[in-house]
């Protein structure tokens, strides 16, 4: 067996954690536990699951210092960032408790029997039910909010699904710790609702496990595609929800570049370098007008990034991949690396950089994500040229538009950019994803491979499936579909009926 190892990214020093990677028997046990816990989560009901989610949030916050210290030792993200991430993680859990109590996520509908122009209609009642045990593949860059206790796990538990999380090798000690904290809360109530497994083989076996009914993944396009293919090749294919690479284009209008070059440069630099550039929403490609106004913005942006102190990458492998990626960006014809740092960054760290491109067509390489604190600035001559450049941008999670009041500039480019993303920001930077009812964290391929968000209330939809009951006796119906007052909104005979009506 292979021991699970934790690595300090600032020193490269490793330490065994005292347990081995999950073998086939351990994986089978975790999946079976998730299946059993799912049945108990359903029996617990919406309100009981809401209480359970809040109890998990309380338990995580009660061990805040220990969690933050452990995560920092494996990621070097720092106590400030990690404390904020833990706060977000607890908020997500409590947010889904609110979603459960409100109840509209079930999409409950009742059509009573009656006559229609098509003839008699039977009594039909429909709502969403849990899909079954769920596999979650943890992210490297968010050891809490998108990992073991993160949004995917919270949404799946809220839906009534047991969860098996494949821990990311960048933070195994953190994964084991928070997994044990969750178990302390859930085991006495519903059994092992969340299991954590370790190792490459466990990750492959998890998506192939017959009892697993859906899988979610946050990571690289290559890894996501490989797992998606395994999910599709099963005897019974399952949904695979992948959040993959995203370039997150930025479009600066000529008027905005002329009016506020300095402030735009400062804001963009902060967003590009935030967290060492290791955010899925990092703005990786900015379209800036050619000419003096654009020149000022680009020069100021390069200067701002030059002043950022290099930060440790999440792993030494990611630092090496960043260096290689930056070299390949600079080798593209028509591109040049703008970086004023003369000191070589320490091993395992990444120094921010800016790559400027001028040309008629955008090369494919410049529209691909490079994970780390680098962005490409593509200079456009006019609206038509900007739209042509933007037509080469792959699907992304976000796009940011920087415009002046009543700005009518670059209309074709604005239309082109909005068609390629899942969230459009106006005069704001994309490195921030609010947990909210209206949030959409998803977009066309390769940013994601589904139409569902992975953040916000409707992310629960990934772990639910619709069922209709026809002419069912009342005793066979879920409580949410029985006649009479209920505690959630429903559509009854075509009309929306609110609780208490």
Active site residues: 243, 280
- Tokens 């293919």 correspond to what residue? 229
Which residues have C-beta within 8 Å of that of residue 49, sequence separation ≥ 6? Answer: 41, 97, 100, 157, 158, 160
Of the candidates 173, 275, 280, the residue with the CA atom closest to the CA atom of residue 219:
280
Alpha helices in 383-429 (DSSP H): 383-390, 411-418
CA–CA dist 444, 394 (Å, integer): 8
CA–CA dist 17, 198 (Å, integer): 12
The string of DSSP letters for 11-60 reads T--EEEEEEEPP-HHHHHHHHHHHHHHHHHHHHHHHHHHHHHHHHHHHHH
CA–CA dist 104, 100 (Å, integer): 8
Cα–Cα distances in Å, from 235 out to 69, 133, 232? Answer: 43, 17, 8
CA–CA dist 380, 289 (Å, integer): 5
Of the candidates 472, 141, 151, the residue with the CA atom closest to the CA atom of residue 275:
141
DSSP 382: S
Q: Is 308 left (phi over 0), alpha (psi -120 to 50) or beta?
A: beta
Which H/E stretch holds residue 312? strand 311-312
3-state class (DSSP) for residue 5: strand
CA–CA dist 115, 120 (Å, integer): 4
The string of DSSP letters for 435-501 reads -STT-----TTTTBSSSS-SSSGGGGGGGEEEEEEES--GGGS-GGGSSS--SS-EEETTEEE-TT-
Alpha helices in 142-281 (DSSP H): 151-159, 172-190, 200-208, 221-233, 254-259, 261-273
Is the distance from CB of 166 to CB of 137 less than 8 angstroms? yes
Angle of helix 292-306 versus helix 261-273 axis, rounded to 10: 40
Is the distance from CB of 3 to CB of 19 less than 8 angstroms? yes
> Hey, which residues does 401 pair with through a beta bridge?
251, 426
């Amino acid at each position: 067996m292979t021991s699970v190892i934790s690595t300090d990214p600032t020193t490269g020093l490793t330490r065994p954690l005292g347990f081995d990677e999950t073998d086939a028997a351990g994986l089978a046990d975790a999946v079976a536990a998730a299946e059993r816990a799912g049945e108990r989560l359903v029996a617990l009901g919406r309100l009981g699951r809401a209480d359970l989610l809040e109890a998990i949030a309380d338990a995580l916050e009660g061990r805040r210092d220990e969690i933050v210290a452990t995560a920092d030792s494996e990621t070097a993200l720092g106590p400030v960032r990690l404390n904020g991430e833990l706060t977000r993680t607890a908020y997500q859990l409590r947010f889904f408790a609110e979603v459960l109590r409100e109840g509209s996520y079930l999409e409950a509908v009742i059509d009573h029997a009656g006559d229609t122009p098509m003839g008699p209609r039977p009594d039909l009642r429909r709502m969403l039910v849990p899909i079954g045990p769920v596999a979650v593949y943890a992210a490297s860059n968010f050891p809490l909010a998108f990992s073991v206790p993160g949004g995917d796990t919270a949404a799946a538990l809220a839906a009534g699904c047991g969860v098996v999380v494949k821990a990311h090798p960048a933070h195994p000690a953190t994964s084991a710790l928070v997994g044990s904290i969750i178990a302390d809360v859930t085991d006495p109530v519903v059994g092992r609702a969340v299991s954590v497994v370790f190792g490459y083989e466990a990750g492959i076996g998890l998506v192939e496990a017959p009892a697993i009914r859906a899988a979610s993944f946050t990571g690289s396009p290559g890894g996501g595609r490989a797992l998606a293919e395994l999910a599709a090749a099963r005897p019974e294919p399952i949904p695979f929800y992948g959040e993959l690479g995203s370039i997150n284009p930025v479009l600066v209008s000529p008027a905005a570049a002329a009016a506020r070059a300095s402030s735009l440069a400062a804001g963009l630099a902060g967003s590009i370098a935030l967290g060492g550039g290791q955010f899925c929403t990092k703005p990786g490609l900015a379209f800036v007008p050619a000419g003096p106004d654009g020149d000022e913005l680009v020069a100021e942006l390069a200067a701002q990034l030059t002043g950022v102190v290099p930060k440790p990458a999440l792993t030494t492998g990611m630092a090496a991949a960043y260096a290689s990626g930056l070299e390949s960006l600079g080798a593209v014809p028509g591109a040049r690396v703008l970086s004023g740092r003369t000191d070589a960054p320490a091993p395992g760290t990444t120094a921010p950089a800016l790559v400027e491109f001028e040309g008629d067509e955008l090369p494919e390489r410049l529209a691909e994500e490079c994970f780390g604190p680098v962005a490409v600035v593509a200079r456009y001559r006019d609206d038509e040229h900007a739209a042509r450049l933007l037509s080469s941008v792959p699907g992304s999670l976000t796009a940011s538009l920087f415009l002046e009041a009543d700005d009518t500039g670059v209309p074709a480019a604005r239309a082109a950019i909005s068609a390629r993303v899942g969230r459009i920001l106006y005069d704001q930077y994309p490195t921030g994803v609010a947990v909210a009812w209206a949030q959409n964290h998803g977009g066309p391929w390769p940013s994601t491979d589904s139409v569902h968000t992975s953040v916000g209330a409707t992310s629960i939809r990934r772990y639910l499936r619709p069922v209709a009951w026809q002419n069912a006796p009342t005793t066979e119906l879920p409580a949410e579909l029985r006649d009479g007052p209920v505690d959630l909104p429903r559509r009854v005979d075509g009309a929306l009926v609110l609780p208490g009506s």
